[in-house]
Amino acid sequence: VLLIDNFTTMSIKFLHKFATNLPSDTIEENYTRQVPKAAFSYVKPRIPSHPKLIHISKEVQNLIGFSDDFIQSETFLQLVSGAEIISNAKPFAMNYAGHQFGNWAGQLGDGRAIVLGEIEHNNQVFTLQLKGAGATPYSRRADGLAVLRSSIREHLCSEAMFNLGVPTTRSLSLISTGDEVLRDVMYNGNPAMEKGAIVCRIAPSFIRFGSFELFSSQNDIENLKLLADYTISNYYTEIQVEGKEKYIEFFNNVAENTREMIVHWQRVGFVHGVMNTDNMSIHGITIDYGPYGWLEDYNPNWTPNTTDAEGKRYRFGNQANIALWNLYQLANALYPLIEEAEPLENILNTFAKKYDEDFSEMMWRKLGITSKKEENDQLIQQLLYNLEQTETDYTIFFRNLNQIHKTDSVEDCISKINFAFYKPEEVTGIILETWHFWFAQYLTILKEETASDNERKSQINSVNPKYVLRNYMAQTAIELAEKEDYSLVDELYTLLLNPYNEQPEFEKWFAKRPDWARQKIGSSMLSCSS
């Protein structure tokens, strides 16, 4: 990237909405501490030694209205590396608490994230946040930094998720800091130096469930109310009622958004990996890309997160339950503003039922079927059973359903999805029979559908991505990037701009996880180390 140093024209004006509406820490010194009765602490990003721009999301650049000149300027690099505080920015780290792996963890806060401020473009407010820009009062015993591998994963996945139609934070830029960071990747006593990096994330705000838990746990009802009112009046503007009804409605909307997000995760085969309440956005958008992963063979018990290998609390098939568990914590946190359990319980009690309905609706869409739903719901359960019994690639299986014709035989169907089987030679005998049985029923339903094969094909292609950011793909890009070759970061970013398109030039990425990646760190499993 060529840096032009003559940038002077564009002026970014930060709005300071969060900071002026919510209480700040009274101490401005940057040392690790408990910060009571404050939503954030002002803090200066650490100055990196040799910041270099690695990648920009052109889409996010356009979304927030940054010009090409600005993106290529030294000022931009200073902004997104934290090297200099530009314009009227007053960076801060947010305070929040949370439940981690089911246990109350008390104050957590942005240990290595720093909000630069909010900007407005096309009547939309965007908060810019640097991740990995140095220690804050919330860093506890950690260094406030982020390494290249986890930053590449966050940058690519944020954008991939957006292009898949999954609600998410965005990522504007990825830079390397030129500094070395010490990490013990598998927490097994093998620390090594890694390259430091910073991602500039974008979201309406970075308010989390844990932001509300913080004030509630401190019995600070005044600030709890302030935060709820702030969130509603800025981000849940459709809520027009007042009094406790307002907070009930708010909770209901958060529950709905969260549920919709989880249905999307299940649709595309995404496993978040660390669904702690501090990692749950109040907007119901995916946030904090850490040891996430994508299903390769369908396995509801799979989690990529080695830190969660024992309990598998955050496994693929448990994400809706955990979302509900997290919503219980949010309900508890908001309770002092409502002082009535019943309306909150009603919302929580309908969550599972609504989720099941949405889930089956979504699965029918993945199958390309528009009619005859309720009475055929067992077909979905049977399919999931089959997918689990036979090691079957989740993405490839659903995508290849686009090839099936109403006039096909069950044998035709099997041969069309055969590519999705990890061990096709083992699909024989009773397993093959269960697949025959399943496809026979599927074909019966297809024949009753009014949609033509072609119409169904485009329906299937619009909900079943052809390309997702498989763990081995990200890992391959990371290994090259560690040698300062960013070509694969670019390629995967470009590929994942259009995950539902065929893109024949990228056909090689429409492939099952290769065998070498099966047990490889970064390719199939990840720790929280980042």
Using CB under 6 A, list all residues that contact ligand AMP.
108-112, 138-139, 142-145, 274, 278-279, 288, 290, 528
d(CA 505, CA 329): 47
| Nearer to Mg ion among residue 279 and residue 306 (C-beta) | 279
Tell which one of 25, 194, 249, 288 touches Mg ion (CB under 5 A): 288
Find which of Mg ion, ligand AMP, none residue 112 binds, CB within 5 to 8 Å per kind: ligand AMP
Per-residue tokens: 189 = 């006593």
Find which of ligand AMP, Mg ion, none residue 142 binds, CB within 5 to 8 Å per kind: ligand AMP
Nearest to 245 by CA among 315, 308, 339, 171: 339
Find which of ligand AMP, Mg ion, none residue 291 binds, CB within 5 to 8 Å per kind: none
Q: Which stretch binds Mg ion (CB under 5 A): 142-150, 272-280, 340-348, 491-499?
A: 272-280
Tell which one of 279, 390, 523, 524 touches Mg ion (CB under 5 A): 279
DSSP run (H or E) holding 453: helix 453-463
| DSSP count for the chain of H helices, then E strands | 17, 11
Q: Which of 110, 179, 220, 278 is catalytic?
A: 278
- What's CA 135's distance to the chain center, in Å? 23
d(CA 92, CA 21): 14
Nearest to 27 by CA among 44, 37, 46, 42: 42
CB of 310 to ligand AMP, least distance (A): 17
Residues with Cβ within 8 Å of 484's Cβ and at least 6 positions away in sequence, in order, are: none
| Nearer to ligand AMP among residue 144 and residue 204 (C-beta) | 144
**Count of residues of this chain found to bind Mg ion when the rule CB under 5 A is applied:** 2
Residues with Cβ within 8 Å of 107's Cβ and at least 6 positions away in sequence, in order, are: 34, 35, 95, 96, 97, 138, 214
CB of 153 to ligand AMP, least distance (A): 12
d(CA 321, CA 252): 17
Find which of Mg ion, ligand AMP, none residue 290 binds, CB within 5 to 8 Å per kind: ligand AMP
State yes or no: residue 154 binds Mg ion (CB under 5 A): no
CB 128 within 8 A of CB 453: no
| Nearer to ligand AMP among residue 167 and residue 196 (C-beta) | 196
| Nearer to ligand AMP among residue 273 and residue 368 (C-beta) | 273
CB 524 within 8 A of CB 517: yes
Find which of Mg ion, ligand AMP, none residue 351 binds, CB within 5 to 8 Å per kind: none
| Nearer to ligand AMP among residue 143 and residue 229 (C-beta) | 143
CB of 202 to Mg ion, least distance (A): 16
| Nearer to ligand AMP among residue 292 and residue 394 (C-beta) | 292
CB of 288 to Mg ion, least distance (A): 4
d(CA 459, CA 298): 22
d(CA 41, CA 203): 19
- What's CA 205's distance to the chain center, in Å? 15
CB of 284 to ligand AMP, least distance (A): 17
CB of 183 to ligand AMP, least distance (A): 9
Per-residue tokens: 192 = 């090594």
CB of 369 to Mg ion, least distance (A): 38
DSSP 8-class letter at 315: -
Q: Which stretch binds Mg ion (CB under 5 A): 18-26, 79-87, 150-158, 288-296?
A: 288-296
CB 467 within 8 A of CB 495: yes
| Nearer to ligand AMP among residue 109 and residue 293 (C-beta) | 109
Question: Any catalytic annotation for residue 485?
Answer: no
Binding site for Mg ion (CB under 5 A): 279, 288
Instruction: Give the active site residues.
Output: 278
